[in-house]
Amino acid sequence: MTEPRHIPIQVPVLARVEGEGTLELRVHDGVIEDLRLRIFEPPRMFEKLLEGREYSEVPDMVARICGICPVAYQMSAVHAIESILGVEPGPWVRNMRRVFYCGEWIQSHSLHIHMLAAPDLLGYSSVVEMARKFSEEVRRGLRLQALGNDIIRLLGARSVHPVGARVGGFHHAPKPKQVNLLLEKLHAALPDAEDLLRWTASLELPSDDQDFICVALRHAREYPMNEGRLVSSHGLDIPADQFETRFAEQQVPHSTALHCLLDGSPYLVGPLARLNLNFDHLPDSIRTLVDNLGIGFPSRNMHHSVVARAIEIVFAIREAIRLLEAYREPQLAYVNTMPRAGTGVGCTEAPRGILWHRYELGAEGLVIRARIVPPTSQNQSRMEDDLRQSLQSFGLNQHEDALRHFGERVIRNYDPCISCATHFLDLRISRQGS
């Protein structure tokens, strides 16, 4: 006997919706037979929009892909294009790009922890409701997010869709007075960040041991942001320009988001994967702080992602302080570039995981072809695997509301963009058998 059930969920505030998602389950005798996370955001065609544009336009154009991680899109793009042009911007640009990235990690991770993860973990429907009891925690989160935006603004002229980055460096170098003011804020924020880390580790995080593949960049000497080889927890170790030899995107009928697989298998990117593969590259002071939390890394518990994000906030603040304390204003914040034909690859660590770009330029510097593989598509299959395992463990006989909330929580644990896209989840369950 088949008993299909459709549970409509009222959408109370459309302004918060970046997209829509549906989780479809088919259950037979208490076992999930089929699970589909349907993402039906319309295709945006950004790669096609880039064709025919000058290479110098690309950083500002790709920044519009995401309002939360525009820096990541700019950084992957400039690295790819500079590899074609044979440009080496030098240590000042390299350091400031790392500072730029610190800002994005701080603001994005803080947003995710406080606006998305914490209400789930503490049993609230929203951060507004949570703030009634945890007002200081929410204020702390907003202060950290504002700090991240201040860093992005220092180099990017504005915090949302920044326009300061260019191929070869930055359009302008900050004045030392601006840097000193920011350094004061960074030093003042460090206790907040360390308190946040201890707070996330003190939350009642579910035990959830899962077997999954982690993929991240790994640099020879430092915690990865802009550079490194692609490595995995299962032995992968290749340069970024060999990405397409092992990773393949595929279209699935139930989603407009592509699913990317490593040698045919789902994998995880993002802060937990990054930390699992690069914990030894954290400074000693942060490793000691983490060792005292009672949570070991590498971790196979996806719920430790919230702790991983807090660890990276502490790291990003310390890293920005380290780099800005050595700041010297250069005569020119970029190196000049000349168009050249060729194909180049860039891969950097967006807050949600590796972001891979490939561009082909013509002799006049116009984009012939572009390909962008965001973290979102790389985590899609892993999310479905996680949902399948987590819902089964949670108990499929639970009330539909409980299943829906639990499914949303699993999804939000991965990625703010997907979390927003599936924030109002329409859960459809078809139960069969006894």
The 10s digit of each residue's pLDDT in 271-310 is 999 999 999 999 999 999 999 998 999 999 999 999 999 9
C-alpha to C-alpha distances, 78 to 55, 65, 88, 380, nearest whole angstrom: 9, 15, 11, 26
Of the candidates 246, 249, 307, the one whose C-alpha atom is nearest the C-alpha of residue 274 is 307
Mean pLDDT of 94-101: 98
| Distance, C-alpha 213 to centroid of its chain | 17
Q: pLDDT tens digit string along 66-94?
A: 888 999 999 999 999 999 999 999 999 99
Q: pLDDT tens digit string along 133-177?
A: 999 999 999 999 999 999 999 999 999 899 999 999 999 999 999
Question: What is the model's pTM?
Answer: 0.91
Amino acid at 200: T
Of the candidates 344, 347, 360, the one whose C-alpha atom is nearest the C-alpha of residue 238 is 347
Q: Is 243 helix (H, G, I), strand (E, B) or coil?
A: helix
Of the candidates 298, 273, 282, the one whose C-alpha atom is nearest the C-alpha of residue 353 is 273
Q: pLDDT tens digit string along 299-328?
A: 999 999 999 999 999 999 999 999 999 999
| Distance, C-alpha 245 to centroid of its chain | 23
